[in-house]
């Protein structure tokens, strides 16, 4: 499918750099007025997932997956839900394990490859609500999960899922982890590690004696954190095995429905390996757009409109497949 490295997007004043564009949503954007209704569902292994619904009595649904250390009320998730609601879609933003404001029940945590949790969400939707069309939208880590799920399912993906959009995707987890560890990204890394450490402390509080917290505060990057916690808590030998098995780039050739990947070339979190040009060119189903600007989960639009460029582009791609 097409590889477009010149999409018609340019960041507006004063968002001059990839770092500023990355921070745009958090610095300047009001949270969208989206009215959620929460639903809790159980997972097959005895845990739970919290789903936040914004319904419009529609026959079409968008399922939104947030990014690392995010949740359903992040401005970028609310903005995407509002954009789809405004065009008549129901929206469902699901929170990863431990990300909805309450620690999950198990030692297992969410991670970049937890496509089984996305499958659980989709099976619940299909069991309890008959939608004619479903679009998947994932941001960053959530985008990696969506792409991995679609590749794993291949031709067996439920027929009602007709399109997917993945934004700012670290589809090579190792390369992205090394990029985030660079000096220029130290502020982001510190923020991520602060909340990731807190989740470990919260889990230790409700499951005393199950975790060894020695040296927790000294973990310096994703490699060390994933080696110590993410990998062993989720059945991987170490960070390298976790990154290798869960990177979505290796699953792209198995995707069998229209899928759009949008990765900005000035994204401070994405290394060259996170731009799957060869895979997109060889695929009949995967489109890759690489605007020069946008940052990481940024893409602020000109004129201060209520919808960011990324939201309008995701909606446009979905509408081409759903007819709404």
Active site residues: 140, 267, 296
Burial code of 131-170, b = ≥16 C-beta within 10 A, e = fewer? Answer: bebbbbbbbbbbbbbbbbbbbbbeeebeebbbbbbbbbbb
Contacts of 91 (CB under 8 A, 6+ apart): 34, 53, 54, 55, 61, 62, 64, 80, 81, 84, 85
**CB count in 10 Å sphere of residue 320:** 12
Distance CA 40, CA 59 (A): 22
Residue 279's alpha-carbon distances to 68, 143, 248, in angstroms, are 24, 16, 11
DSSP state of 297: T
Q: In the beta sheet, which residues pair with residue 260?
A: 165, 287
DSSP assignment of 76-91 equals: HHHHHHHHHHHTT-EE
Structure tokens at 227: 């080696």
Taking phi over 0 as left and psi of -120 to 50 as alpha, with beta for the rest, 235 belongs to left
Structure tokens at 62: 């968008």
């Amino acid at each position: 499918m097409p590889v477009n490295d010149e999409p018609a997007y340019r960041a507006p004043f004063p968002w001059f750099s990839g770092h500023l564009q990355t921070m745009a949503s958090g610095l300047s954007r009001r949270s969208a007025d989206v009215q959620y209704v929460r639903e809790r569902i159980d997972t097959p292994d005895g845990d739970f997932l919290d789903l936040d619904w914004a319904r419009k009595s529609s026959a079409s649904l968008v399922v939104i997956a947030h990014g690392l250390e995010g949740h359903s009320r992040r401005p970028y998730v609310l903005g995407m839900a509002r954009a789809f609601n405004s065009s008549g879609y129901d929206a469902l933003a699901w929170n990863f394990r431990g990300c909805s404001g309450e620690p999950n029940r198990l030692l297992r945590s969410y991670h970049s490859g937890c496509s089984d949790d996305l499958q659980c969400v989709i099976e619940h939707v299909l069991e309890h609500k008959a939608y004619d069309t479903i679009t998947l939208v994932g941001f960053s880590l959530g985008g990696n999960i969506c792409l991995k799920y679609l590749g794993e399912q291949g031709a067996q993906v439920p027929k009602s899922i007709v399109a997917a959009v993945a934004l700012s995707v670290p589809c090579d987890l190792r390369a992205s982890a090394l990029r985030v560890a660079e000096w220029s990204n130290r502020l982001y890394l510190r923020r991520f590690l602060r909340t990731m450490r807190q989740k470990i402390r919260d889990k230790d509080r409700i499951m005393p004696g199950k975790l060894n917290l020695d040296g927790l505060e000294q973990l310096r990057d994703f490699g060390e954190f994933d080696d110590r916690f993410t990998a062993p808590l989720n059945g991987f030998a170490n960070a390298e095995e976790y990154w290798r098995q869960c990177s979505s780039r290796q699953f792209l050739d198995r995707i069998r429905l229209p899928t759009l990947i949008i990765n900005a070339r000035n994204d401070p979190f994405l290394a060259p390996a996170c731009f799957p040009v060869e895979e997109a060119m060889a695929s009949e189903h995967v489109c890759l757009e690489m605007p020069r600007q946008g940052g990481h989960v940024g893409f602020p639009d000109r004129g201060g409109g209520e919808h960011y460029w990324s939201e309008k582009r995701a909606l446009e791609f979905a509408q081409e497949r759903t007819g709404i």
